[in-house]
Structure 1
């Protein structure tokens, strides 16, 4: 079937990413060294059928969100990402929008943090990437719940054990963070929509937003109640990436503790349930 320049580029980028580079198993017979469409679908959160239609030229107008997700999953460089946007007939996001590109260097750094739960968030606290151990620890999120601020105010289901004081402090920090982010990226439609929806949905968020409260997002020690391995008390540190406003969240356990043993067990079982 005939393809387009966009489809040919997408196929080329998919073929050059070996599965082991993105933490996927390499077993079984493979026609090519690169990612299968089903694997790219899993990494990007986009249906394999839609990826097929893009590659075959039967879909030619992906949304900016789809292009961003595929660019991250394929580990495109900044120039390749810009080319992808142009092929899709889209303007490359400008300086008034939140950066959501994860560079190959950040990907490689995360690849080396095996045995450590790590996730990457944008400046609005929307999760862009999480390694398998982070997902196993914190759970897998979809839709609005990928945004940590949304979860903190709207979703009551969390594995993190909070006190009213710790939850209140985190909420104040999140609101202050979003206010600073809105000032830096006034043209970002997703951020504008998120803030409007939070103000409509959560009275607590709206009160904090109206108050103009100022707060920082400090490092913290958190207890996570995991349904399979039990409670883990871990250090949570947030690292900032210069010039991109990305936040890298890292959970670590003190060596030689029961928490470290439980984290190691979770690394083995992953997201699979323990046998009865």
Structure 2
């Protein structure tokens, strides 16, 4: 496809200037000079380096990948039509119907951004993480350090790459086998609804060939319950064990899952979440 690097750069700058910092989950201050998001804020939301965003906006970085353009479209909270325009300006075909969608509607992003006290991650139908807030990073580790393909819950559970290495030890109230079976059930459902999605097919084939546990669950004929909620104890390296309610909220019309972690107000666990909010999950000294 024909493309104009200057068109892509101009759209990127214009849509960054348009987006309210509050809608992106950032605190508004009186001394802000930028009309919208700062460049470093866009880089943080998209999981990219500030230098790379700068080079894209100056039309010095050529041919961004579809994954990069998708991440920028989500970070900028573009409509579907605007997202497609951004893809075309980069010389790429927009995502086609019949494939797993990764577009997060702007309203869902604004809602999630206003719930900044709660760890929230938004997953596509194949359990690829496509959006997260700072509390999610504080609780689970920063997904931005992972290659885009590794930001997948199935790969974290059954793979042997970077996703598995980042995943913290977790105890599941319903048991680890039940949780694993529910994720495989979700992938089976996704395959039945997106039979021509090559990325999803590659994920399933890879895990069937490299993980005996995944292959076992995939071959099991018993219908497993899809993952909707659980109570999980996350073994955080700085805060210690945190027992939280994990709920999976479906996003109608977008085939996305919004995963939230909460604790009862005034509980010890809520206090640990408050500590995570203050420290960002970094090393702290916890007084006895």
Mark yes or no: TM-score above 0.5. Answer: yes
Superposition deviation, residue 201 in structure 1: 1.7
Alignment partner, residue 260 of structure 2: 250
The answer to whether the 8 Å contact 2:99/2:197 transfers is: yes
Corresponding residue for residue 151 of structure 1:
156
Say yes or no: does 1:50 pair with 2:52. Answer: yes
Matches within 5 A, 1:166-181: 166-181=175-190
Q: Which whole-Å deviations, capped at 9, do the CAs of 1:28-65 have from their partners, x for residues lacking one?
A: 96552233333322221223333333323334422211
Asked if residue 182 in structure 1 is aligned to residue 191 in structure 2, the reply is yes
Q: Take 1:264 and 1:59, find their aligned partners in 2: how far apart are those partners?
A: 40
**How much has 1:223 moved relative to structure 2?**
1.1
Are the aligned partners of 1:117 and 1:132 in contact in 2 as well (CA < 8 Å)?
Answer: yes
Cα separation, 2, equivalents of 1:188 and 1:261? 43
RMSD over aligned Cα atoms: 2.3
Partner of 2:175, secondary structure, is helix
* Distance apart, 1:259 and its partner CA: 1.2
**Which shows bigger deviation, 51-60 or 90-99?**
51-60
Q: CA deviation at 1:162?
A: 4.3
Matches within 5 A, 1:42-191: 42-141=44-143, 142-143=146-147, 144-154=149-159, 155=164, 157-162=167-172, 166-191=175-200
Superposition deviation, residue 249 in structure 1: 0.5
- Over 3 Å counting, the alpha-carbon distance change for 1:28 and 1:112 in structure 2 is closer
Offset of residue 199 of structure 1: 1.5
SS in structure 1 at match of 2:246 = strand
Deviation at 1:77, TM superposition (A): 1.3
Equivalent pairs counted in the alignment come to 274
In the alignment, the residues of structure 2 paired with residue 24 and residue 118 of structure 1 have an alpha-carbon distance, to the nearest angstrom, of 15
Q: For the structure 1 residues 145 and 57, does the alpha-carbon distance in structure 2 shift closer, same or farther, using more than 3 Å as the test?
A: closer
Whole-angstrom CA distance in 1 between matches of 2:217 and 2:224: 11
How far residue 211 of structure 1 moved from its aligned partner, in angstroms, is 2.8
Aligned to 1:12, the other structure's residue is in SS state helix
Matched, 1:200 2:202: no
Do the aligned partners of 2:84 and 2:94 also contact (CA within 8 Å) in 1? yes
Aligned-pair CA distance for 1:251: 1.0
| Separation of aligned partners in 2, 1:42 and 1:194 | 26
Give the distance between the partners of 1:90 and 1:225, measured in 2 at CA: 42
Unaligned segments of structure 2, at least 5 residues: none
What is the CA–CA distance in structure 2 between the aligned matches of 1:98 and 1:206, rounded to whole Å? 22
- What residue is the counterpart of 1:232 in the other structure? 242
Find the aligned partners of 2:188 and 2:180 in 1 and give their Cα distance.
12
Larger displacement relative to structure 2 (189-198 or 68-77): 189-198
